[in-house]
Structure 1
Amino acid sequence: MKKYIVVTGGVLSGVGKGIFSASLARLLKECGIRVNVLKIDPYLNVDAGTMNPNQHGEVFVTEDGYEADLDLGHYERFLGENMSRKNNITAGQIYSAIVEKEREGGYLGSTVQIVPHVTGEIRKRIESLEGEVNVIEIGGTVGDIESEVFLESVRELALEKPLEDFLFIHVTYVPYLKASNEFKTKPTQQSVQLLRRSGINPDMIVIRSENPVNADSLKKVALFGGVPLNMVINLPDVPNVYSIVEILKNYELHKKIADRLRININESTFSWNYPKTFKPFKIALIAKYLGTDDAYKSIIESVFLSGCSKPVTVDSQSLEEMSWQHLCATLSEYDGLIIPGGFGKRGIEGKIRAIQFARMYKKPLLGICLGMQLMVIEFARNVMGYKEANSTEFDPDTPYPVITMMEEQKKVLQLGGTMRLGAQLMEILENTKLWQIYGIAKVSERHRHRYEVNYDQFPELFKFPDEKGEKLTISAKSNFVEAIELQDHPYFIGIQFHPELKTKVGKPHPLFTEFIKTIEDLSK
């Protein structure tokens, strides 16, 4: 019999439901349970592919080419397993499926309604999960109009299942009011009331807070939330989110869940290992999306899980306005630079100037997706003398289109889900730094791009590993140039793919670990 744990949120968004859900799933996995996860996003987008990173955070791409909310990244890193499109539902997907079925006559003339048709479609997808225990995170907060149909769906499903098959966990926020020197539980009480109006009573309440909540406040939450005191869990802010798995274990959350769901667990298999100490190197993330820390979440976590301090975000637009001397002085303070992916012209020239600095002064540099393309542009301009070199994304009329749209993309009219996405096979070329890092000839990496290196028109920019000359060395290829590097540089590697999407706890991507190792070697 499948078991379900439904995680809802209250008071405000962004309190950490995703991290809690991922930590809970990993704790159960450590106890020998086969776990699956599902993120439900109530927004009407079909997927996260067209969302602005400044507003919504990064787009996480799965192996099968699905563009998802960043919470799937949390699930992958914590669980150490690859997610797929089956691990995410959006309201847009549900309503699209309903309308398509109605147009095909699939409802046999019935009036199509929220109940039972929409809720039925949601329930069908939930029941298709294949875990022994399935952790379902419902995005947003209770009280949101968008979430109501999903809450109704899980309420219906729980009503039809035995009591021991469902567990509802409500994650809320308890603020601390300095003026009166007390924690305020009223928002949590009201949030639970809203959940009850949806027909759902929480079995457990998880309180998020900046600092540990006192015992009286916990008792008040238990009383007004209608749950036993031992089912109220406080999770204050921690410097390392990967420690939450251990914190939940110390709360004996796995035992409480096993008792409630009547499942067998094996604590002897618990072996959660995560970085606890970090090298104090300063790494600059030359960024253009500064609206939220989540815009580059997977890159930041890849550096963190490689055992290094969190990268410092540097506004690429600010680099455009600096004198060359000021820019050099600013970037000299960092031990290494990362140029991440992105879209659009804003901030591009600042990124190119940062690349020029890293190339000239032998500063370790990792260029990812757009970052690699800008490395090619910088080289064409400042080494080959093609001063107007550019990507046709930024200048369609450039006389030196060293980066251009992929041929098959020129026929694409829709934006959503149409890029080169997901796992793609490529060849790593011997006698390159990339070969030293991978050590194998064939690898599969995840992609998300529309533009490519225009090798056919500008072969003079490049060389293969055994050729001589001061050119960019092609170190990986498929039908496209997948990676470039400079062989007389300690670490100057550009890649068309996204290695950050494959980092797991205990297994960071080798491109990041080698990047950190190079910085460490240079510091000795």
Structure 2
Amino acid sequence: MKYIFITGGVVSSLGKGLTSGALGALLETRDLKVRIRKFDPYLNVDVGNMSPFQHGEVYVLDDGTETDLDLGHYERFTNSPLSRLNSTTSGRIYESIIQKERRGDFEGKTVQVIPHVTNEIKSVLYESGKDCDVLITELGGTTGDIEGLPFLEAFRQFSLEVGKENVLFIHVTLIPYLKAAGELKTKPSQQSVAKLREIGVQPDILICRTEHPISEEMRQKLSMFCNIEQKAVIEEQDVKNSIYELPLVLSNEGLGDLVVEKLHIDAKKSDMSKWNDIVKKILYPKDNVKIAVVGKYVELQDAYKSVYESLAHAGIGNDCKVNIVRVDSENIERDGAEKYLSDVDGILIAGSVGNRGIEGSIEVAKYARENKIPYFGICIGMQVMAIDFARNVLNLKDANSTEFNPETSAPVVCSMEEQKGGKSMRIGAYDCEIKPNTKAFEAYKKHETSERHRHNFELNNAFKNKLENAGMVVGGVNKKFDLVEILEEKDHPWMVGVQFYPEFHSKPFAPHPLFLAFVKSAIDRKNK
């Protein structure tokens, strides 16, 4: 087993998650089996209750684990199987320790950060490192943060236990550009590495995030002051077009060769052809379309990260550039749909909770239905599609979800008995049986699939026959719980809503079938 620890310095949001995913991709091109995991130092047990305004999207795994969005990067870049073992917070570490102390597992001893917290962290590492060649571990936050110290100490101890020849420390740091001085500065990175060395961790590789190229003189300086080989000072300049250029950038910098050399791994030569093909399609698309993404968090960079990436994947699959227009559903409520959607080739409503902007989303579903614009509704996007149809086709003017109006006389969307009060969210992977002769079947080309969920409300089966008799099609169901998973508009070129989150199963080299079909329908509309 080989272990790689990735830490960050100077500032947060440096792109450690992307770097971890890109490194995993490089190692997989050598036929190595890679697993990637993350430690987050915050005290939340998971991100399930964290606001998207503070944290970005909640990324859900098959087993129902609610994780940081970086795990989305891991899945998109690699074939690393992810589960609860791949995401751990300080909150979960301390929760486990307190439970053990209450049971008497420590036999009355004083429970301390060392050894109890560090031992718990190491036990997680040993457990999650099974059945792979290389385990890449990313530590969230920034070196020097007080909450990250127990993890760094655990990593130091761990490297001694498994042998330093089996461990690699990679430090991602910022080389800031001072516009007034007209030059890049290395001092913040020097200080960051010095902080790591105080703890007892000496980085083996320094990855330098930068907006401008790094000179050889600067590499020499970083090498000398950070006690790192000059060839191990890696430039990671901002990519110009797509994050999927990153594996090629790091490969050209020699990172893959360096890692296998330092870890003494006997691996085949890297084959980057797959990534070259993807980047070529991104740089030289044959077509382009404009897709409106409508939601209540569109002003946030990372709230719908997986949706944006899945649209990019579908663009790659269709040899097309997808230009995304972000539309706040509250603006639709105020100004109407025509102002924001009249010139788009497709409309996607992304998932959300709460009633802010919901009437705007219902208006968007109506606009797409009446104007025959390709429409893809995800979670709430499927629900507002049903509400619009009930209100404006079935003439049930009070139609709504009990999430927004508990007293509605036409609860087209409601919670299941066991979900009421938000006590039992349907979360994780659930099976879906796809009906033949539907848009969904045309996309999937199979009768069954499994998709990830995270919600409390469902389409009310009491209205299912009424919707179908008036022109809606139930394209997919969960047989076990008798729940509608896919809803389609019959008299429409492509109007599909899904109760699940298909964006969590999309990769650049394997776009999700529904995203692929949606973008294809947008291309057809534009060309027609």
Looking at structure 2, the residues matched to 496 and 163 of structure 1 have their Cα atoms a distance apart, in angstroms, of: 48
Between 250-259 and 173-182, the greater mean CA deviation after superposition: 250-259
The match for 1:244 is 246
Q: 1:32–1:269: 8 Å Cα contact kept in structure 2?
A: no
Select the residue among 439, 448, 458 that pairs with 2:454. 448
Distance 1:313 1:25, change over 3 A: same
Looking at structure 2, the residues matched to 501 and 258 of structure 1 have their Cα atoms a distance apart, in angstroms, of: 30
Question: Structure 2 counterpart of 1:385, which letter?
Answer: N
Q: 1:31–1:270: 8 Å Cα contact kept in structure 2?
A: no
Question: Structure 1 counterpart of 2:269, which letter?
Answer: E
The match for 1:87 is 86
Looking at structure 2, the residues matched to 293 and 519 of structure 1 have their Cα atoms a distance apart, in angstroms, of: 24
TM-score (norm 2): 0.94
Q: 1:299–1:500: 8 Å Cα contact kept in structure 2?
A: yes
Distance 1:157 1:310, change over 3 A: farther
Q: Return the offset for 1:214.
A: 2.9
The match for 2:413 is 403
Any gaps of 5 or more consecutive residues in structure 2? 316-320
Is the partner of 2:485 in helix, strand or coil?
Answer: strand
Q: Return the offset for 1:523.
A: 2.1
Looking at structure 1, the residues matched to 422 and 405 of structure 2 have their Cα atoms a distance apart, in angstroms, of: 19
Distance 1:336 1:411, change over 3 A: closer
1:173-192 alignment runs, 5 A limit: 173-192=174-193
The match for 1:471 is 471
The match for 2:443 is 437
The match for 1:50 is 49
Q: 2:366–2:388: 8 Å Cα contact kept in structure 1?
A: yes
Q: Return the offset for 1:411.
A: 6.2
The match for 1:466 is none
Select the residue among 409, 414, 423 that pairs with 2:429. 423
The match for 1:522 is 525
The match for 1:159 is 160
1:462 aligns with 2:461: no
Q: Return the offset for 1:246.
A: 1.4
Q: Return the offset for 1:330.
A: 2.4
Looking at structure 1, the residues matched to 212 and 371 of structure 2 have their Cα atoms a distance apart, in angstroms, of: 44
Runs (4+) of structure 1 moved beyond 3 Å?
Answer: 268-271
Distance 1:211 1:483, change over 3 A: same
Any gaps of 5 or more consecutive residues in structure 1? 464-468
1:503 aligns with 2:506: yes
The match for 2:318 is none
Q: 1:8–1:169: 8 Å Cα contact kept in structure 2?
A: yes
Is the partner of 1:304 in helix, strand or coil?
Answer: helix
The match for 1:262 is 264
Count matched residues: 510
Q: Return the offset for 1:460.
A: 4.8
Looking at structure 1, the residues matched to 125 and 186 of structure 2 have their Cα atoms a distance apart, in angstroms, of: 32
Q: Return the offset for 1:89.
A: 1.1
Looking at structure 2, the residues matched to 385 and 9 of structure 1 have their Cα atoms a distance apart, in angstroms, of: 57
The match for 1:362 is 372
Select the residue among 327, 331, 337 that pairs with 2:341. 331
The Cα offsets for residues 84-121 of structure 1, whole Å up to 9 and x where unpaired, read as: 11111111111010000111111111111111111001
The Cα offsets for residues 230-286 of structure 1, whole Å up to 9 and x where unpaired, read as: 111111111211111112221221221111111111115444332424442110100
Looking at structure 1, the residues matched to 328 and 464 of structure 2 have their Cα atoms a distance apart, in angstroms, of: 33
The Cα offsets for residues 44-69 of structure 1, whole Å up to 9 and x where unpaired, read as: 11111111112211111111111111
TM-score (norm 1): 0.94
Q: 1:409–1:419: 8 Å Cα contact kept in structure 2?
A: yes
The match for 1:318 is 331
Looking at structure 2, the residues matched to 40 and 13 of structure 1 have their Cα atoms a distance apart, in angstroms, of: 14
Question: Structure 2 counterpart of 1:229, which letter?
Answer: Q
Distance 1:420 1:306, change over 3 A: same
The Cα offsets for residues 295-327 of structure 1, whole Å up to 9 and x where unpaired, read as: 1111101110112324221111111111x4xx3
Is the partner of 1:285 in helix, strand or coil?
Answer: strand
Question: Structure 2 counterpart of 1:168, which letter?
Answer: F
Q: 1:57–1:70: 8 Å Cα contact kept in structure 2?
A: yes
Q: Return the offset for 1:215.
A: 2.9
Looking at structure 1, the residues matched to 387 and 124 of structure 2 have their Cα atoms a distance apart, in angstroms, of: 45
Looking at structure 2, the residues matched to 288 and 523 of structure 1 have their Cα atoms a distance apart, in angstroms, of: 27
Q: 2:235–2:253: 8 Å Cα contact kept in structure 1?
A: no
The Cα offsets for residues 365-390 of structure 1, whole Å up to 9 and x where unpaired, read as: 00001110111111111222222221
Q: 2:422–2:456: 8 Å Cα contact kept in structure 1?
A: no
Select the residue among 482, 486, 489 that pairs with 1:483. 486
Q: Return the offset for 1:177.
A: 0.9
Q: 1:54–1:290: 8 Å Cα contact kept in structure 2?
A: no
1:232 aligns with 2:237: no
